[in-house]
Amino acid sequence: MKFEPTRRQVLIGGASLATVVAFGGSHPAFAASDRTRIIVRVEKDLSNLDPANRSGPIDLNVIWSVQQGLISFKPGSTEWELDAAEELTQVSDTEIAFRLRPGLKFTDGYGDLTAEDVKFSFERFLKPDAEGKPVTYAKDWSELDRVEVTGPLEGRIVLKNPSPALFTIALADGSGRIISKKAFEALGKDIATKLIGSGPYVLKEWKPREQFVLAINPDYKGAIKPHFQEIVGKPIGEQKTAEIAFRSGEIDFTAIDPESGKALAELPDASVTQVPAIDYIWFGPNIEKAPFDDIRVRQALRYAVDVDAILQGAYSGIYPRANALLAPGLLGYWKDAPVHERNLDEARRLLEEAGHGGGFKTKLTIEATARYEAIAQIIQANLAEVGIEIEIEALESAAYWALGENDASKDLELSLIKYNGKFDPGFQTQWFTSEQVGQWNWQRWKNPDFDALHAKGAVTTDKAEREKIYVEAQKLLDESAAFIWITHNLNAFASRKWLKPGVLPNGNNWLYTAFSEATA
């Protein structure tokens, strides 16, 4: 059968094609057309908007823009600035006085923001909830004794012990948000899905799994000025889908794989920002298990593993190397930390000395992601050169993190771990204390000196002294040879050229109020 189109068929076909091209090509009403409104991609949907029971940075970023704290983080910095408080004074190591700005009002008719609301917001972390259970973030305020109200807009925060970390862990963070006592009592369980605040934005809409919309709060009386009329958040779980959506113009801002940065930066209207993170990714043995109970075997591991090759092979050579627990920029950053270079001869000598010259078999447990699998394979190849044979056990995320429960980590041999960092060094050191063995100290390393340093750091208010404490603590970690640091991670973001993102130094937390139009 021959296909011999008539002239009429050709004309009709051509016209149809032209119509499709014309209508199809003009359809998308994309993000960049309206610069009073931006569309940002979030990795998952909002989950719980109660600051005391929030479920992570996605919730927190929205809570920050709607609810005020006495203080809040400065854009792009780990420092804080006054927010709802007009004045905040450290009266003593255990007492902080505050005076609120006058005229601050909660949305939805819940009245003025007063010192009573501050007291209620902070003290609820100490009390069980309606069902008799502690709130999720109770630990953030564990040093709080009480909040005393000394006037309608004035009060004092009284601590049980000095707590220098309180400012970054609680006051400026999510646990320091001030909620309306009236709203809390009126909303009951709905406090998890309805956000009442006094901040620069209101949560205008939240359509689960589709989008949330932040709109300017017309009654806001504070000092932080938002730049966009509306900020729309679209939950997109898959990174590649987000990158495609960015390429097609449907979103204005998204976190990306740093490896995709180069390609996206070549788009005419795109800009890529890289923010070194403060996380800590390392690999190490369970030192309670033979042969890793012998420090010579641990040292041999450290000599045998090629961290630079891991950074090249699994991180495309663009992530910075970590040599200690605390990332640059954090209090206690150990800038002279030793850089352990690969030395196979030394590794073999140490193994020989420890009676393992013929090598041994062991298991490396990782969270199943493409990157961690790549790291594991490099480690496997590295260690094979000194006779250590590794079986890789890749666990799905929730199964992997379940190793922190019920002392499950006792069965681990080698593990590759990533923990997210926070701005206070004490947050990072806590996971390596003896009391964390059986929970999140998967190397099961115990050192009383380290525990003492961690405890001392938590109550030392002198900044220089604290700095020394955390450097000393990191030296002990290094001496143990139980931790082979890989990287502090790298965050990368793609945005429209005209948009300046408001990302905090950890990369996970964004201040929507700090998103602004980029100046040329």
Q: Which of residues 31-60 bind other proteins (CB under 8 A)?
A: 44-45, 47-49, 53, 55-56
Altogether, the residues listed in the chain come to a count of 520
DSSP-assigned beta bridge partners for residue 201: 216
Does residue 516 touch other proteins according to CB under 8 A?
no
251: contact with other proteins by CB under 8 A: yes
Query: Residue 361: how many CB atoms within 10 A of its CB?
Result: 10
Which range in 195-203, 231-239, 269-277, 484-492 contacts other proteins by CB under 8 A? 231-239
Q: Which is nearer to other proteins, 150 or 248 (CB)?
A: 248
Question: Considering the complex, what minimum distance in angstroms separates the CB of residue 265 from other proteins?
Answer: 16
Minimum separation from the CB atom of position 134 to other proteins (A): 6
Figure out which of the listed residues 247, 340, 342, 371 binds other proteins, where binding follows CB under 8 A: 247
Calpha distance 472→476 (Å, rounded): 7
Crossing angle between the packed helical segments 370-384 and 295-304, to the nearest 10 degrees: 110
* Interface segment toward other proteins; rule CB under 8 A; list 232-240, 345-353, 464-472, 511-519: 232-240
Q: How far is the CB of 192 from other proteins (least distance, A)?
A: 4
CB of 240: closest distance to other proteins in angstroms? Answer: 8
> x/- string (CB under 8 A) for other proteins, residues 94-133?
-------------------------------------x-x
Choose which of 406, 465, 479, 518 interacts with other proteins (CB under 8 A): 406
414-419 sheet: strands from edge to edge: 388-395, 360-367, 414-419, 280-285, 484-487
Residue 443 Cβ vs other proteins, minimum distance, rounded to whole Å = 14
Q: Dihedral sign, CA of 104, 81, 488, 258?
A: positive
Q: Taking phi first (over 0 means left), then psi (-120 to 50 degrees means alpha), and beta for anything else, what does residue 492 get? A: beta
Closest CA to 324 of 235, 397, 429, 230: 429
Cβ-contact 270, 496 below 8 angstroms: yes
Minimum CB separation of residue 69 from other proteins in Å reads: 20
Q: Which of 5, 389, 391, 401 binds other proteins (CB under 8 A)?
A: 401
Q: Between 418 and 457, how does the x/- string for binding to other proteins read (CB under 8 A)?
A: -xx----------x-------xx-----------------
Report which of 81, 127, 84, 135 is spatially closest to residue 106, judged by C-alpha positions: 84
Instruction: Candidates 60, 85, 88, 138: give the one binding other proteins (CB under 8 A).
Output: 138
d(C-alpha 472, C-alpha 282), whole Å: 19
Burial class (CB in 10 A: 0-12, 13-18, 19+), 363: middle
Per rule CB under 8 A, is residue 193 in the interface with other proteins?
yes
- From 165-173, 344-352, 391-399, 444-452, span contacting other proteins (CB under 8 A): 391-399
Say if residue 145 is exposed, middle or buried (CB neighbours under 10 Å; 0-12, 13-18, 19+). Answer: middle
Chain-centroid distance of CA 287 in Å reads 28
Which helix (H) or strand (E) covers residue 239, if one does? helix 239-248
- How many residues belong to the site for other proteins (CB under 8 A)? 60
Q: For residue 377, state whether it binds other proteins (rule: CB under 8 A).
A: no
Six token digits for residue 408: 């499950």
Q: Among 203, 245, 388, 503, which residue sits at the site for other proteins (rule: CB under 8 A)?
A: 245
Give me the residues that bind other proteins (CB under 8 A), please.
1, 20-21, 24-25, 27-28, 44-45, 47-49, 53, 55-56, 131, 133-134, 136, 138-139, 189-190, 192-193, 207-211, 234-238, 240-241, 244-245, 247-251, 395-402, 404-406, 419-420, 431, 439-440
